[in-house]
Structure 1
Amino acid sequence: MSKIVPDPPVNTATPNAEATEAEALIKDREAINRALDYYLDPPEPYSVKTRRPSTMFMVVPDVDSESLLAHACESLASASVMAGDFAGYLEGPQRHTALAIQQIIMLAELAVNRALDNVDVPLATV
């Protein structure tokens, strides 16, 4: 909301001093508004249009969902085994953390397996 009267009112005797004081207050108010806009509504650092994903590791776009889910399931099973083996070398809280990570991986593997069961496989025509 803009105010017509400077905040606080200028009590000077000369017109030039009053104009200078009013300009300084306007500049201060603009700086405050810029700072608030910057911190309360920051610009997005990376927009979707400018970000291009790396093509070093790329999944072929026409791979079917069943193959992707099967690969994800195998990767999660391998990660579960690695976390379990790693937990065997640890003791105390670190072991509990590694076993918790293994449990999360196993839950993700179960979810991927269920999604794989729900994939409709088109029948091959002979």
Structure 2
Amino acid sequence: MSETTKPLVTDPASPYESFDSRKLHAAAERALDHYLAPAQIMATPYSPSSMFMVNPQTDTESLLANACESLASATVMLGDFAGVLEGPSRNTLLGIAQVLMLGELAVNQALENVVPRD
């Protein structure tokens, strides 16, 4: 063998070396599929629970005002929680807070469209 040719490296721990290693390999595959595969997330359509319902007779202005306040509160809670975190988790929470703020702005504009201020 020349100095420029390296020997072929093979993995000594084949998952099919014995029956037990095959079972372990199959179990590992199932676990990875369960936690990492996007399998059934979008398989069933979302249907809201009827346990808590908004009164259908509530006027639009009240609904929009309540939604705006809820979004603002959630934004503050996420900001407070993000303040005690560092790294990727903090960035994720701040990103979610920003999405909520954008929702709050949209609801505020819808409220303005429904009940314009003079």
- What TM-score, normalized by structure 2, do the two folds share? 0.55
Residue in structure 2 matched with residue 68 of structure 1 by the alignment = 63
Give 2:38's aligned residue.
none
Match of 2:74 in 1: 79
Residue in 2 aligned with 1:101?
96
Structure 1 ranges of 4+ moved more than 4 A: none
Identity of aligned residues (%): 67
Aligned to 1:30: none
The counterpart of 2:87, out of the listed 84, 92, 115, is 92
* Residue correspondence of structure 1 range 35-46 to structure 2 within 5 A: none
Partners of 2:65 and 2:86 in 1: how far apart? Answer: 33
Deviations 1:19-64 (A, max 9, x none): xxxxxxxxxxxxxxxxxxxxxxxxxx78xxxx8x644211111111
Show the 5 A alignment for 1:4-43. Answer: none
Amino acid at match of 2:53: M
**Whose Rg is larger?**
1
In structure 2, how many angstroms separate the alpha carbons of the residues matched to 1:113 and 1:79? Answer: 15
Q: Which amino acid aligns with 1:78?
A: S
Whole-Å Cα distance in 2 between the matches of residues 61 and 93 of structure 1? Answer: 41
Deviation at 1:93, TM superposition (A): 1.1
SS of residue matched to 1:86: helix
> Which amino acid in structure 1 is aligned with residue 104 of structure 2?
E
Q: Secondary structure at the match of 1:60?
A: coil
Deviations 1:88-121 (A, max 9, x none): 0110111111111110000000000000000047
Say how many residue pairs are matched. 73
Unaligned runs of 5+ in 2: 1-43
